[in-house]
Amino acid sequence: MAHDAPVLVLDGPPGAGKTSLLARMVCALGDDTMWITEPNARLATGLSAPIHPSPAGHTLWFLRHELDKARAMRRLVTDEATRLLIADRNHLGALAYCYATHAQDSLPYTVARDFYARRIAPEVPEAVLTAILLVSPDQSLTRRGKVAELPRWKQWFDEGLLERLHTFYTDIAPTLCPTPPAIINTDGATPQAVLAQVAGVLADAGLDQTARHLTSAAAPNPRPPLDEQFTDAYTQLGGLEALGHPFTPAIDHRGGTVQLCQLGTLHRDPAGRNRLWNPLAAPDRRAA
């Protein structure tokens, strides 16, 4: 019988705790896990780069990225070494942006929704679990310091935008998931309590051992320093502007080393080459 690992998608508005949860899961589950970090158009190059610099072109990039991701997932879940594939965001993030932003800043929501229905939905693997992490706009701002650290992140601190995102994730997103999602309100919840709810989702899907590993593992430092071995790669890829802050220490993973950042993962392969972690690309046979 073919092996198909389940996929766990983490989505929700800014500040809900998605990236912190992903970091904790990767640290706890180690080699049993593969993951796909949040889409980052600034790091896309060549044929995968945005076709047009307009807001609509940028939004279309996110939707095409989700189409590529859905197709790649079909390959990734068949890896017998992988017990769980985790994705930081999926099509919900792109649709939420189109729903919540002004028309001139993205594709029209109905166009984006139809693209998902026609192109992306048929490609999504069957074993997809979705955890929508909700947070109130006020808590979202408080957790992130109320002020954008960089100018390009300013829109994510607009209270009106956060209100519209909350409406989307509460009322609309559950209808756009392949199976009914787990909706987890993180207001007032400790990271351990959120982790326990996610572990419950995995246990219900038959991943009892994975769920036990999650709830018994120690939490990593939430803001570790950048490991020295990744200094050059981090700088060359754009540093804080492109990757954000590190969210895990450097950890061993399948013969190499990885360090998760807010907007991407740095990877040192078994041959000692540093690069951006990109599970969507075809496997690099030279590193095998």
CA atoms within a 13 Å half-sphere pointing along the CA-CB vector of 156: 20
Q: Supply the pLDDT for residue 216.
A: 84
With bands split at pLDDT 50, 70 and 90, how would you rate the model's confidence at 219? confident
Superfamily of domain 7-219 in CATH is P-loop containing nucleotide triphosphate hydrolases (3.40.50.300)
Segment among 211-220, 223-232, 255-264 with least mean pLDDT = 211-220
pLDDT in tens, 166-200: 999 999 999 999 889 999 999 999 989 999 999 99
Q: Which two tokens stand for residue 13?
A: 């508005």
Whether 126 has a pLDDT exceeding 70, the answer reads yes
pLDDT in tens, 61-115: 999 999 999 999 999 999 999 999 999 999 999 999 999 998 777 889 999 999 9
Q: Supply the pLDDT for residue 47.
A: 57
Q: Where are the domains of the chain?
A: 7-219, 222-288
The rounded distance, in Å, linking the Cα atoms of 154 and 150 is 7
Q: Supply the pLDDT for residue 1.
A: 47
